[in-house]
């Protein structure tokens, strides 16, 4: 195949692509066809059957192989003369350090989780390499350009927190099917098959616990207890007894319709084994990943809505299969949308609960989508977004900063346009990642340990990978392969100490320096002691602040138009999305600007210090409601985790 000569800016470019999934496959193809001569790809995954419907560089025979390597081979078949270097690895591996990033002209992300995106953002800032970010969720998509000091970095705006529900809605007063799914997945499944020791609101106490039968841990299987008996006991406890206990609190039901307790004997015959000969033989195979309650019971259609009786049978069968065929995993399982048996269990439990609360039942297919925060992937959106990434990459290579655009791909046309380009925003001066703004942390220094600080703040909130913590010149903690043994012992001991009892005590007023050696990121955290925290609102028992959106100021030139679009009015669609009930379970990785912020061109038109001719603009992003996980993002994606990971249906 002959191809036209590449643009001169492309000819010498060396680009790094991170992620070879839905967006990545499209991107690699478009880069190759556009004439990019030297492409490096990092992807840590192997190909799954569920990827094949949209990750078109992969075929059935590639299942189980490295995405980065197979993508390379597929593209070399139609562009044999370009150089493609694959890395089957996690981008967070220490090998991919700042020096590694420095060799590239531009980095292009096709990731699906916040954690990896933040990491790449930091490495690009440290290496001073431009980053083109992207994400898609169904029909929605987004591409942004991040150039150190010129445009906002990926982390300049706090990301939407994952959608969460009030605990009491989940444990006591569900009103939507999603509440039943969250209950089945995060409480019941976790209690039965995950870590037993975890706190869990399922063991609802009766009014007089001392005389109740329920003082024992009902979830503990009794010695020699038959598995069906055990399953029925769990069933009766969570769908019968717990509902009776809840009903006893009249106040709760004053303005709500009361739930109905459901006991297994009312729904199922006394003994299923008699009814269903294959209950004991269970599934035909011993391969744990193919064990299925539906298969055992001869039910085939995942789109069918099961009756209460069918849900109850699936519930008992799935429970039995976990304790029979997958016994080794019990105690360590966490819900995985690709685990058929887990989805069957969660679907049936959610449906039985829904039945009790008068909520419409759902099929396994629908439940899987809700439980896995799945948004149906749209291959065309990935292709459009990949094209836009390449357009922005070319502008970056041409050093044409004034024409950079962040572009949103909308679900419904706005002013007859599906693509909405907006000029990029200037960096947020209070961003702890790309500016040096100190953070402050309220924490109980007499109660919280260094380990809690490391896990909940340094890793979870600040997204650091290889952290080092200093108080003045005293090193309190660091990680690394080359540490002396006595240092390792010291740090391990420090981790268990409360902050005020560390060798160099951390108390109110202490300024801690936290550094990530791989990301080359340093943050100063000013510590403020606080005695009490609200368990519901501040479950971490610590509050980090200082990382805020840039202050909103009164907006001028409201009708200013970028490229013919881009006024605040263009956001209506995004706002519709935000209030769209159907999207409730979508992990919104996407952020859409509600109103304009100061833009790059306005800054570069003047002294470059931010005293732009446009005196006042707002700086708010209206984020599409985060429906999940993962996950996750200012950018949309194929999904995280991670609690912030968005996922697609395959
Ligand atoms: N830390 C990371 N290092 C390297 N690659 C990563 C990292 N995190 C995510 N990825 C890759 O990014 C890609 C994202 O692609 P995509 O959103 O299509 O997800 P997927 O895993 O292929 O599909 P799905 O999530 O829908 O099952 C994946 O191939 C994944 O392996
Ligand atoms: Zn920033």
* First-residue to last-residue Cα distance in the chain: 32
Tell me how far the alpha carbon of residue 619 lies from the centroid of ligand 2, in angstroms: 14
Looking at residue 218, what is its pLDDT?
84
Instruction: Map tokens 């039943």 to a residue.
Output: 180
Dist CA 557 CA 18 (whole Å)? 38
Q: What is the greatest pairwise CA distance in the chain? A: 84
**Phi, then psi, of 71 in degrees rounded to 5:** -60, -40
The more confident residue out of 199 and 568 is 199
Q: For a pocket test of ligand 1, which of 45, 109, 137, 389 has the largest count of ligand atoms closer than 8 A to its C-beta?
A: 45
Instruction: Kindly state if the Cβ of 28 falls inside 6 Å of ligand 1.
Output: no
Instruction: Give the Å distances, CA to CA, from 177 to 316, 335, 344, 346, 370.
Output: 21, 18, 15, 12, 9
The upper half-sphere exposure of residue 23, i.e. CA atoms within 13 Å in the direction of its Cβ, equals 35
Instruction: Kindly state if the Cβ of 21 falls inside 6 Å of ligand 1.
Output: yes
> What is 87-128 written as a DSSP string?
E-S-TTSTTS-HHHHHT-SEEEE----HHHHHHHHHHHHHHT
48: CB partners within 8 A, 6+ apart:
63, 338
Q: Which of 75-89, 484-498, 588-602 tops mean pLDDT?
A: 75-89
DSSP 135: E
Q: What is the ipTM of this complex?
A: 0.98
pLDDT in tens, 321-362: 999 999 999 999 999 988 999 999 999 999 999 999 999 999
Helices assigned H by DSSP within 415-563: 450-452, 485-496
Dist CA 457 CA 123 (whole Å)? 20
Dist CA 489 CA 292 (whole Å)? 47
Q: Which long-range contacts (CB under 8 A, 24 or more apart) does 489-494 make?
A: 494/450
Domains of the chain, earliest start first? 1-163+374-434+550-650 (3.40.50.720), 175-358 (1.10.10.520), 439-545 (3.10.290.20)
Dist CA 545 CA 526 (whole Å)? 10
Q: Taking a C-beta distance cutoff of 8 angstroms, is the pair 420, 408 a contact? A: yes
User: Which of 168, 180, 409, 523 is labelled catalytic?
Assistant: 168
Nearest to 516 by CA among 583, 447, 446, 462: 462
Alpha-carbon 251 to chain mean position: 37
Looking at residue 511, what is its pLDDT?
94
Dist CA 164 CA 182 (whole Å)? 10
Q: For a pocket test of ligand 1, which of 16, 17, 22, 118 has the largest count of ligand atoms closer than 8 A to its C-beta?
A: 22
The more confident residue out of 283 and 191 is 191
Strands 140-146 and 374-376: unpaired
> What is 494-505 written as a DSSP string?
HHHSBGGGSSS-
Instruction: Kindly state if the Cβ of 43 falls inside 6 Å of ligand 1.
Output: yes
Dist CA 423 CA 400 (whole Å)? 13
- Ligand 1, atom nearest to 119 Cα: 1
Strands 38-42 and 83-87: parallel
The residue whose CA is least distant from atom 31 of ligand 1 is 45
Q: Taking a C-beta distance cutoff of 8 angstroms, is the pair 381, 348 a contact? A: no
Dihedral sign, Cα of residue 30, residue 32, residue 35, residue 40: positive
The residue whose CA is least distant from atom 15 of ligand 1 is 21
Nearest to 526 by CA among 499, 548, 544: 544
Query: If DSSP codes are grouped into helix, strand and coil, which group holds residue 440?
Result: strand
Beta bridge partners of 142: 135, 408
Q: Taking a C-beta distance cutoff of 8 angstroms, is the pair 557, 614 a contact? A: yes
Q: Is the pLDDT of residue 621 over 50?
A: no
Dist CA 71 CA 622 (whole Å)? 36
Instruction: Give the pLDDT band (50/70/90) at residue 278.
Output: very low
Looking at residue 288, what is its pLDDT?
67
Instruction: Give the Å distances, CA to CA, from 384 to 3, 401, 507, 530, 638.
Output: 21, 22, 52, 50, 14
Q: Taking a C-beta distance cutoff of 8 angstroms, is the pair 43, 132 a contact? A: no
114 is in an annotated binding site: yes
| Ligand lying closest to the C-alpha of residue 373 | 1
Q: Please state, rounded to an integer, the average pLDDT across all residues of the chain.
A: 81
Dist CA 20 CA 34 (whole Å)? 18
Dist CA 588 CA 101 (whole Å)? 28
**168 catalytic residue (yes or no):** yes
pLDDT in tens, 533-568: 987 778 889 999 886 665 543 333 333 222 222 222
Q: Is the pLDDT of residue 214 over 70?
A: no
Looking at residue 451, what is its pLDDT?
95
Instruction: Kindly state if the Cβ of 92 falls inside 6 Å of ligand 1.
Output: yes
Could you tell me the two tokens for 481?
């392969």
pLDDT in tens, 154-171: 999 887 766 677 788 898
């Amino acid at each position: 195949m002959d191809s036209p000569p590449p643009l001169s800016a492309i000819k010498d470019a060396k680009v790094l692509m991170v992620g070879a999934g839905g967006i990545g496959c499209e991107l690699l193809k478009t880069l190759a066809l556009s004439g990019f001569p030297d492409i490096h790809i990092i992807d840590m995954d192997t190909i799954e059957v569920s990827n094949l419907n949209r990750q078109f560089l992969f075929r059935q025979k590639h299942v189980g192989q490295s995405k980065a390597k197979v993508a390379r081979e597929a593209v070399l078949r139609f562009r044999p003369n370009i150089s493609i270097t694959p890395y089957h690895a996690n981008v967070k591996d220490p090998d991919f350090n700042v020096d590694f990033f420095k060799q590239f002209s531009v980095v292009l992300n096709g990731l699906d989780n916040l954690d990896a995106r933040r990491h790449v953002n930091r490495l690009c800032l440290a290496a001073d390499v431009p980053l083109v970010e992207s994400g898609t969720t169904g029909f929605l998509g987004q591409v942004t350009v991040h150039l150190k000091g010129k445009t906002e970095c990926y982390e300049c705006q706090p990301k939407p927190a994952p959608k969460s529900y009030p605990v009491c809605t989940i444990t006591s007063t569900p009103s939507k099917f999603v509440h039943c799914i969250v209950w089945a997945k995060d409480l019941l499944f976790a209690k039965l098959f995950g870590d037993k020791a975890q706190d869990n609101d399922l063991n609802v106490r009766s009014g007089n616990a001392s005389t109740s039968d329920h003082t024992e841990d009902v979830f503990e299987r009794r010695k020699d207890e038959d598995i069906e008996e055990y399953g029925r006991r769990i069933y009766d406890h969570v769908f019968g007894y717990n509902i009776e206990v809840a009903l006893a609190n009249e106040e709760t039901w004053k303005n709500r319709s009361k739930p109905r307790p459901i006991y297994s004997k009312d729904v199922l015959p006394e003994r299923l084994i008699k009814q269903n000969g294959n209950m004991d033989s269970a599934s035909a195979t011993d391969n744990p990943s193919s064990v299925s309650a539906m298969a055992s019971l001869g039910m085939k259609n995942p789109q069918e809505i099961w009756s209460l009786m069918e849900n109850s049978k699936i519930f008992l069968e799935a429970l039995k299969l976990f304790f029979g065929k997958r016994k080794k995993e019990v105690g360590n399982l966490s819900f995985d949308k690709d685990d058929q048996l887990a989805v069957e269990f969660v679907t049936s439990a959610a449906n039985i609960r829904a039945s009790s609360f008068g909520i419409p039942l759902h099929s396994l297919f629908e439940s899987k989508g809700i439980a896995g925060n799945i948004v149906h992937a749209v291959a065309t959106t990935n292709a459009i977004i990949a094209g836009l990434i390449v357009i922005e990459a070319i502008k970056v290579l041409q050093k044409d900063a004034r024409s950079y655009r962040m572009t949103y791909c909308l679900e419904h046309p706005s002013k007859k346009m599906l693509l909405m380009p907006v000029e990029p925003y200037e960096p947020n001066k209070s961003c702890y990642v790309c500016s040096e703004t100190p953070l402050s942390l309220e924490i109980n220094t007499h109660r919280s340990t260094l380990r809690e600080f490391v896990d909940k703040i340094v890793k979870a909130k600040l997204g650091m990978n290889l952290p080092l913590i200093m108080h003045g010149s005293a090193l309190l903690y660091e990680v690394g392969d080359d540490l002396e043994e006595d240092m390792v012992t010291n740090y391990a001991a420090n981790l268990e100490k409360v902050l005020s009892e560390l060798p160099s005590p951390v108390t109110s007023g202490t300024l801690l320096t936290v550094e990530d050696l791989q990301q080359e990121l340093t943050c100063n955290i000013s510590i403020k002691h606080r005695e009490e925290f609200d368990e519901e609102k501040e479950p971490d028992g610590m509050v980090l602040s200082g990382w805020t959106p840039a202050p909103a100021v009164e907006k001028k030139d409201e009708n200013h138009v970028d490229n013919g679009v881009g006024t605040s009015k263009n956001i209506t669609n995004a706002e519709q999305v935000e209030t769209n009930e159907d999207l409730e379970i979508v992990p919104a990785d996407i952020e859409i600007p509600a109103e304009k912020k100061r833009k790059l061109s306005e800054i570069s038109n003047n002294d470059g210090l931010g005293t732009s001719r446009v005196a006042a603009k707002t700086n708010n992003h209206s984020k599409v409601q985060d429906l999940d996980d993962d996950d996750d993002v200012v950018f949309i994606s194929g999904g995280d985790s991670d609690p912030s990971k968005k996922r697609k249906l395959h």
